[in-house]
Amino acid sequence: MKAIVLQPGTKNLRLAEWPEPQIQSDHDIKAKVLRVGICGTDREEAAGGRADAPEGEKELVIGHEMLSQVVEVGKGVKKVKKGDFVVFTVRRGCGLCEACKAVRSDMCMSGQYTERGIKGRHGFHAEYVVDEEQYAIKVPASIADIAVLAEPMSVVEKAIDEAGIIQTARLPYLVDREHWLKGKTAIVAGLGPIGLLGALILRLRGATVLGLDRKPDSPRVKLLQAMGGVYIDDKNINFDEFLEKYPKINMILDAAGVAQLDFDLLDCLGINGIFVLTGVPGDQHLLSLNGAKLMRKLVLKNQVMVGSVNESIAHFEKGIADLEAASAKWPGVVQKIITHKFPYTDFETAFTQHTADEIKVIIEWSQK
Protein backbone atom coordinates (compact mmCIF):
# COMPACT_ATOMS: atom_id res chain seq x y z
CA MET A 1 0.00 0.00 0.00
CA LYS A 2 0.98 3.66 -0.21
CA ALA A 3 1.91 5.75 2.83
CA ILE A 4 3.44 9.15 3.53
CA VAL A 5 6.55 8.59 5.61
CA LEU A 6 9.07 10.86 7.28
CA GLN A 7 12.62 10.37 8.42
CA PRO A 8 12.35 12.17 11.80
CA GLY A 9 14.69 15.10 12.28
CA THR A 10 14.88 15.74 8.52
CA LYS A 11 12.71 17.20 5.77
CA ASN A 12 12.71 13.86 3.98
CA LEU A 13 8.98 13.32 3.52
CA ARG A 14 8.04 10.84 0.79
CA LEU A 15 5.26 8.71 -0.64
CA ALA A 16 6.40 5.16 -0.08
CA GLU A 17 5.38 1.56 -0.62
CA TRP A 18 4.56 0.35 2.88
CA PRO A 19 3.48 -2.99 4.36
CA GLU A 20 -0.30 -3.21 4.60
CA PRO A 21 -1.33 -3.81 8.24
CA GLN A 22 -3.37 -6.88 9.12
CA ILE A 23 -5.65 -7.80 12.00
CA GLN A 24 -3.63 -9.46 14.74
CA SER A 25 -6.20 -10.03 17.48
CA ASP A 26 -9.92 -10.54 18.01
CA HIS A 27 -10.24 -6.92 19.12
CA ASP A 28 -8.56 -5.33 16.10
CA ILE A 29 -10.27 -3.19 13.47
CA LYS A 30 -8.93 -2.72 9.95
CA ALA A 31 -10.09 0.41 8.18
CA LYS A 32 -9.61 2.11 4.85
CA VAL A 33 -8.39 5.66 5.38
CA LEU A 34 -10.61 8.24 3.69
CA ARG A 35 -9.02 11.55 4.63
CA VAL A 36 -6.40 12.95 6.99
CA GLY A 37 -6.10 16.53 8.23
CA ILE A 38 -2.91 18.56 8.35
CA CYS A 39 -2.14 20.82 11.32
CA GLY A 40 0.78 22.77 12.71
CA THR A 41 2.22 19.67 14.35
CA ASP A 42 2.38 17.85 11.00
CA ARG A 43 4.08 20.78 9.35
CA GLU A 44 6.53 21.05 12.23
CA GLU A 45 7.39 17.37 11.78
CA ALA A 46 7.81 17.77 8.02
CA ALA A 47 10.14 20.73 8.60
CA GLY A 48 12.48 18.58 10.69
CA GLY A 49 10.90 19.25 14.08
CA ARG A 50 9.64 16.97 16.83
CA ALA A 51 8.83 13.47 15.64
CA ASP A 52 9.93 10.00 16.71
CA ALA A 53 9.83 6.78 14.72
CA PRO A 54 8.79 3.55 16.44
CA GLU A 55 11.57 1.90 18.41
CA GLY A 56 14.06 0.22 16.11
CA GLU A 57 12.78 1.96 12.96
CA LYS A 58 14.11 4.92 10.99
CA GLU A 59 10.90 6.24 9.40
CA LEU A 60 7.51 7.32 10.69
CA VAL A 61 4.16 7.22 8.91
CA ILE A 62 2.80 10.63 9.85
CA GLY A 63 -0.75 11.95 10.28
CA HIS A 64 -3.00 11.98 13.34
CA GLU A 65 -6.29 13.65 12.29
CA MET A 66 -8.29 11.08 10.37
CA LEU A 67 -11.50 9.51 9.16
CA SER A 68 -11.74 5.92 7.96
CA GLN A 69 -14.24 3.23 7.01
CA VAL A 70 -14.16 -0.24 8.51
CA VAL A 71 -13.28 -3.06 6.09
CA GLU A 72 -12.67 -5.92 8.55
CA VAL A 73 -13.13 -6.62 12.25
CA GLY A 74 -11.80 -9.21 14.68
CA LYS A 75 -14.18 -11.77 16.14
CA GLY A 76 -14.39 -9.92 19.46
CA VAL A 77 -15.25 -6.46 18.11
CA LYS A 78 -18.66 -5.27 19.32
CA LYS A 79 -19.16 -1.56 18.68
CA VAL A 80 -18.45 -1.25 14.93
CA LYS A 81 -18.98 -3.38 11.86
CA LYS A 82 -17.82 -3.44 8.27
CA GLY A 83 -18.90 -0.29 6.46
CA ASP A 84 -19.07 1.94 9.55
CA PHE A 85 -17.20 5.23 9.61
CA VAL A 86 -14.67 5.48 12.46
CA VAL A 87 -11.96 7.71 13.82
CA PHE A 88 -9.12 6.46 15.99
CA THR A 89 -7.63 8.33 18.92
CA VAL A 90 -4.02 9.50 18.81
CA ARG A 91 -2.34 8.87 22.15
CA ARG A 92 -1.61 5.49 23.72
CA GLY A 93 -0.89 5.38 27.43
CA CYS A 94 2.31 4.28 29.11
CA GLY A 95 0.49 1.64 31.16
CA LEU A 96 2.57 2.64 34.17
CA CYS A 97 1.21 5.83 35.72
CA GLU A 98 -2.05 6.32 37.58
CA ALA A 99 -3.53 8.49 34.83
CA CYS A 100 -2.94 5.97 32.06
CA LYS A 101 -4.23 3.12 34.22
CA ALA A 102 -7.40 5.17 34.61
CA VAL A 103 -7.68 5.38 30.78
CA ARG A 104 -6.61 9.04 30.75
CA SER A 105 -3.46 8.92 28.65
CA ASP A 106 -4.02 12.62 27.90
CA MET A 107 -2.88 13.23 31.50
CA CYS A 108 0.09 10.81 31.35
CA MET A 109 2.52 11.45 34.20
CA SER A 110 5.52 9.45 32.98
CA GLY A 111 5.88 10.97 29.52
CA GLN A 112 6.32 7.45 28.12
CA TYR A 113 3.14 7.55 26.06
CA THR A 114 3.17 7.10 22.28
CA GLU A 115 1.14 9.04 19.71
CA ARG A 116 0.09 7.84 16.30
CA GLY A 117 1.89 9.79 13.62
CA ILE A 118 3.90 11.84 16.11
CA LYS A 119 5.75 9.89 18.77
CA GLY A 120 6.85 6.28 18.54
CA ARG A 121 3.83 4.92 16.65
CA HIS A 122 2.92 5.02 12.96
CA GLY A 123 0.14 7.38 11.97
CA PHE A 124 -2.75 7.50 9.55
CA HIS A 125 -1.36 8.82 6.24
CA ALA A 126 -1.75 5.43 4.59
CA GLU A 127 -4.30 3.51 2.57
CA TYR A 128 -5.18 1.20 5.47
CA VAL A 129 -4.75 1.21 9.24
CA VAL A 130 -5.32 -1.33 12.00
CA ASP A 131 -6.03 -0.45 15.60
CA GLU A 132 -7.74 -1.83 18.68
CA GLU A 133 -11.46 -1.41 19.24
CA GLN A 134 -10.85 0.50 22.48
CA TYR A 135 -9.35 3.38 20.46
CA ALA A 136 -12.16 3.56 17.87
CA ILE A 137 -15.12 5.96 17.87
CA LYS A 138 -18.00 5.36 15.49
CA VAL A 139 -19.02 8.33 13.36
CA PRO A 140 -22.59 8.93 12.12
CA ALA A 141 -22.75 8.76 8.33
CA SER A 142 -24.53 12.14 8.36
CA ILE A 143 -21.31 13.94 9.33
CA ALA A 144 -18.79 11.82 7.42
CA ASP A 145 -17.93 14.89 5.34
CA ILE A 146 -16.64 16.79 8.40
CA ALA A 147 -15.60 14.00 10.78
CA VAL A 148 -11.93 14.47 9.89
CA LEU A 149 -12.25 17.44 12.27
CA ALA A 150 -12.95 15.08 15.19
CA GLU A 151 -9.38 15.14 16.51
CA PRO A 152 -8.92 18.93 16.68
CA MET A 153 -12.49 19.13 17.96
CA SER A 154 -11.60 16.71 20.76
CA VAL A 155 -8.61 18.83 21.79
CA VAL A 156 -10.75 21.91 22.35
CA GLU A 157 -13.55 19.84 23.90
CA LYS A 158 -11.07 18.81 26.59
CA ALA A 159 -9.91 22.39 27.14
CA ILE A 160 -13.46 23.65 27.60
CA ASP A 161 -14.36 20.65 29.74
CA GLU A 162 -11.35 21.30 31.98
CA ALA A 163 -12.55 24.85 32.49
CA GLY A 164 -16.00 23.60 33.45
CA ILE A 165 -14.60 21.08 35.93
CA ILE A 166 -12.43 23.71 37.61
CA GLN A 167 -15.04 26.45 37.74
CA THR A 168 -17.90 24.32 39.02
CA ALA A 169 -15.61 22.77 41.65
CA ARG A 170 -14.42 26.09 43.08
CA LEU A 171 -17.37 28.44 42.58
CA PRO A 172 -20.39 27.45 44.71
CA TYR A 173 -22.92 29.29 42.56
CA LEU A 174 -22.06 27.22 39.44
CA VAL A 175 -23.68 23.78 39.27
CA ASP A 176 -23.89 22.91 35.57
CA ARG A 177 -20.46 21.84 34.37
CA GLU A 178 -21.42 21.80 30.70
CA HIS A 179 -23.47 24.97 30.53
CA TRP A 180 -21.82 27.14 33.18
CA LEU A 181 -21.01 29.72 30.48
CA LYS A 182 -24.59 30.09 29.27
CA GLY A 183 -25.33 33.80 29.09
CA LYS A 184 -21.72 34.66 29.96
CA THR A 185 -18.90 35.99 27.80
CA ALA A 186 -15.81 34.19 26.51
CA ILE A 187 -12.87 35.30 24.38
CA VAL A 188 -11.35 32.98 21.79
CA ALA A 189 -7.86 34.14 20.81
CA GLY A 190 -7.03 32.99 17.30
CA LEU A 191 -9.47 31.85 14.62
CA GLY A 192 -7.66 28.91 13.10
CA PRO A 193 -9.32 25.48 13.18
CA ILE A 194 -8.94 25.10 16.96
CA GLY A 195 -10.25 28.61 17.61
CA LEU A 196 -13.24 28.23 15.29
CA LEU A 197 -14.12 24.82 16.73
CA GLY A 198 -13.76 26.27 20.22
CA ALA A 199 -16.09 29.13 19.30
CA LEU A 200 -18.53 26.59 17.90
CA ILE A 201 -18.59 24.61 21.16
CA LEU A 202 -18.94 27.72 23.29
CA ARG A 203 -21.81 28.99 21.15
CA LEU A 204 -23.54 25.61 21.47
CA ARG A 205 -23.16 26.04 25.25
CA GLY A 206 -24.90 29.42 25.08
CA ALA A 207 -21.91 31.73 25.57
CA THR A 208 -21.36 35.10 23.94
CA VAL A 209 -18.12 34.57 21.99
CA LEU A 210 -15.64 37.30 21.11
CA GLY A 211 -13.21 35.99 18.48
CA LEU A 212 -9.83 37.70 18.17
CA ASP A 213 -7.87 37.65 14.92
CA ARG A 214 -6.00 40.01 12.62
CA LYS A 215 -7.73 39.57 9.26
CA PRO A 216 -11.14 41.29 9.35
CA ASP A 217 -12.11 40.27 5.80
CA SER A 218 -11.05 36.64 6.04
CA PRO A 219 -13.30 33.57 5.69
CA ARG A 220 -12.50 32.80 9.34
CA VAL A 221 -14.30 35.91 10.50
CA LYS A 222 -17.32 35.11 8.33
CA LEU A 223 -17.54 31.63 9.84
CA LEU A 224 -17.33 33.06 13.37
CA GLN A 225 -20.11 35.51 12.58
CA ALA A 226 -22.23 32.78 10.94
CA MET A 227 -22.35 30.95 14.26
CA GLY A 228 -23.21 34.15 16.15
CA GLY A 229 -19.75 35.16 17.31
CA VAL A 230 -18.40 38.73 17.47
CA TYR A 231 -15.13 39.57 15.71
CA ILE A 232 -12.46 41.70 17.43
CA ASP A 233 -9.34 42.88 15.58
CA ASP A 234 -6.65 42.15 18.17
CA LYS A 235 -4.01 44.05 16.20
CA ASN A 236 -5.80 47.34 16.79
CA ILE A 237 -7.49 46.59 20.09
CA ASN A 238 -7.76 49.38 22.63
CA PHE A 239 -7.90 47.54 25.96
CA ASP A 240 -9.46 50.44 27.86
CA GLU A 241 -12.32 50.68 25.39
CA PHE A 242 -12.62 46.89 25.24
CA LEU A 243 -12.93 46.59 29.01
CA GLU A 244 -15.53 49.34 29.10
CA LYS A 245 -17.64 47.46 26.54
CA TYR A 246 -16.97 43.94 27.92
CA PRO A 247 -16.28 44.29 31.66
CA LYS A 248 -17.11 40.67 32.62
CA ILE A 249 -15.03 38.18 30.66
CA ASN A 250 -15.61 34.80 32.30
CA MET A 251 -13.29 32.69 30.17
CA ILE A 252 -10.46 33.12 27.69
CA LEU A 253 -9.51 30.28 25.35
CA ASP A 254 -6.09 30.58 23.77
CA ALA A 255 -5.96 28.99 20.32
CA ALA A 256 -3.11 31.05 18.91
CA GLY A 257 -0.05 30.26 21.02
CA VAL A 258 1.19 33.86 20.96
CA ALA A 259 2.70 34.52 24.37
CA GLN A 260 2.60 38.32 24.24
CA LEU A 261 -1.08 38.34 23.25
CA ASP A 262 -1.98 35.89 26.02
CA PHE A 263 -0.35 37.93 28.74
CA ASP A 264 -1.91 41.10 27.37
CA LEU A 265 -5.32 39.43 27.43
CA LEU A 266 -5.00 38.68 31.13
CA ASP A 267 -5.96 42.33 31.66
CA CYS A 268 -9.37 41.47 30.18
CA LEU A 269 -10.15 38.48 32.38
CA GLY A 270 -12.86 39.18 34.93
CA ILE A 271 -13.24 38.30 38.60
CA ASN A 272 -13.21 34.51 39.14
CA GLY A 273 -12.34 34.06 35.46
CA ILE A 274 -10.41 31.20 33.88
CA PHE A 275 -7.84 31.30 31.07
CA VAL A 276 -7.22 28.02 29.21
CA LEU A 277 -4.12 27.63 27.05
CA THR A 278 -4.09 25.23 24.08
CA GLY A 279 -1.60 26.94 21.76
CA VAL A 280 2.05 25.91 21.89
CA PRO A 281 4.32 28.90 21.18
CA GLY A 282 7.38 28.41 19.04
CA ASP A 283 10.60 30.24 19.68
CA GLN A 284 9.56 33.86 20.10
CA HIS A 285 11.21 37.02 21.34
CA LEU A 286 11.66 37.29 25.09
CA LEU A 287 8.86 39.16 26.78
CA SER A 288 9.02 41.98 29.26
CA LEU A 289 6.25 41.54 31.83
CA ASN A 290 5.19 43.29 35.00
CA GLY A 291 5.22 40.11 37.07
CA ALA A 292 4.05 41.77 40.27
CA LYS A 293 1.00 43.25 38.54
CA LEU A 294 0.18 39.90 36.98
CA MET A 295 0.43 38.06 40.30
CA ARG A 296 -1.68 40.69 42.10
CA LYS A 297 -4.40 40.34 39.51
CA LEU A 298 -4.47 36.53 39.64
CA VAL A 299 -4.64 36.55 43.44
CA LEU A 300 -7.00 39.44 44.09
CA LYS A 301 -9.46 38.46 41.36
CA ASN A 302 -9.46 34.70 42.07
CA GLN A 303 -8.34 33.89 38.56
CA VAL A 304 -7.07 30.61 37.10
CA MET A 305 -4.67 29.99 34.21
CA VAL A 306 -4.38 26.37 33.05
CA GLY A 307 -2.81 24.48 30.16
CA SER A 308 -4.59 21.69 28.28
CA VAL A 309 -3.16 19.17 25.80
CA ASN A 310 -4.47 16.09 23.99
CA GLU A 311 -7.80 14.49 24.91
CA SER A 312 -9.56 11.40 26.23
CA ILE A 313 -11.88 9.15 24.26
CA ALA A 314 -14.82 10.85 26.00
CA HIS A 315 -13.74 14.15 24.45
CA PHE A 316 -13.67 12.51 21.00
CA GLU A 317 -17.20 11.24 21.58
CA LYS A 318 -18.40 14.65 22.76
CA GLY A 319 -16.70 16.32 19.82
CA ILE A 320 -18.48 14.09 17.33
CA ALA A 321 -21.81 14.78 19.04
CA ASP A 322 -21.14 18.53 18.90
CA LEU A 323 -20.14 18.37 15.23
CA GLU A 324 -23.49 16.74 14.58
CA ALA A 325 -25.33 19.36 16.65
CA ALA A 326 -23.50 22.22 14.95
CA SER A 327 -24.26 20.85 11.49
CA ALA A 328 -27.95 20.87 12.37
CA LYS A 329 -27.87 24.34 13.98
CA TRP A 330 -25.73 26.07 11.32
CA PRO A 331 -26.11 24.12 8.06
CA GLY A 332 -23.04 24.34 5.83
CA VAL A 333 -20.93 26.34 8.29
CA VAL A 334 -18.72 23.58 9.70
CA GLN A 335 -18.01 22.26 6.20
CA LYS A 336 -16.43 25.61 5.31
CA ILE A 337 -13.70 25.12 7.93
CA ILE A 338 -12.23 22.59 5.47
CA THR A 339 -10.93 24.94 2.80
CA HIS A 340 -8.40 22.85 0.85
CA LYS A 341 -8.39 19.22 -0.28
CA PHE A 342 -5.53 17.44 -2.00
CA PRO A 343 -5.14 13.89 -3.28
CA TYR A 344 -2.43 11.95 -1.44
CA THR A 345 -0.33 12.02 -4.62
CA ASP A 346 -0.05 15.79 -4.21
CA PHE A 347 0.94 15.72 -0.54
CA GLU A 348 3.93 18.01 -1.05
CA THR A 349 1.68 20.89 -2.11
CA ALA A 350 -0.59 20.28 0.87
CA PHE A 351 2.34 20.51 3.28
CA THR A 352 4.18 23.46 1.76
CA GLN A 353 1.71 25.86 0.17
CA HIS A 354 -0.35 28.32 2.18
CA THR A 355 -2.98 30.70 0.87
CA ALA A 356 -4.68 33.63 2.56
CA ASP A 357 -8.01 31.83 2.72
CA GLU A 358 -6.62 28.62 4.23
CA ILE A 359 -8.22 27.27 7.40
CA LYS A 360 -8.04 23.47 7.39
CA VAL A 361 -6.17 21.42 4.79
CA ILE A 362 -6.91 17.74 4.31
CA ILE A 363 -5.41 14.97 2.21
CA GLU A 364 -7.86 12.58 0.58
CA TRP A 365 -6.96 8.91 0.44
CA SER A 366 -10.31 7.78 -0.93
CA GLN A 367 -13.37 9.51 -2.39
CA LYS A 368 -15.90 7.41 -0.43
Give the tens place of pLDDT for each residue, 307-326.
999 999 999 999 999 999 99
CA 152 to chain centre: 2
The answer, yes or no, to whether residue 368 has pLDDT greater than 70, is no
pLDDT of residue 133: 98
Cα angle 256, 262, 268 (rounded to 5 degrees) comes to 125
**pLDDT, mean of residues 208-224:** 93
Burial class (CB in 10 A: 0-12, 13-18, 19+), 107: middle
Range(s) of the chain covered by CATH 3.40.50.720:
153-307
- What CATH fold (topology level) applies to the domain 153-307? Rossmann fold (3.40.50)
Q: Indicate the average pLDDT of the chain.
A: 95
CATH number of the domain at 2-139+337-364, please?
3.90.180.10
pLDDT of residue 219: 94
The answer, yes or no, to whether residue 282 has pLDDT greater than 90, is no
CA distance 157 to 163: 10
CA distance 260 to 11: 30
Contacts of 358 (CB under 8 A, 6+ apart): 339, 340
- Which is more confident, 258 or 56? 56
The answer, yes or no, to whether residue 22 has pLDDT greater than 70, is yes
Span 136-178, pLDDT tens digits: 999 999 999 999 999 999 999 999 999 999 999 999 999 999 9
Nearest to 221 by CA among 192, 201, 242, 194: 192
CA distance 65 to 52: 17
3-class secondary structure, 150? helix
Span 115-136, pLDDT tens digits: 999 999 999 999 999 999 999 9
Range(s) of the chain covered by CATH 3.90.180.10:
2-139+337-364
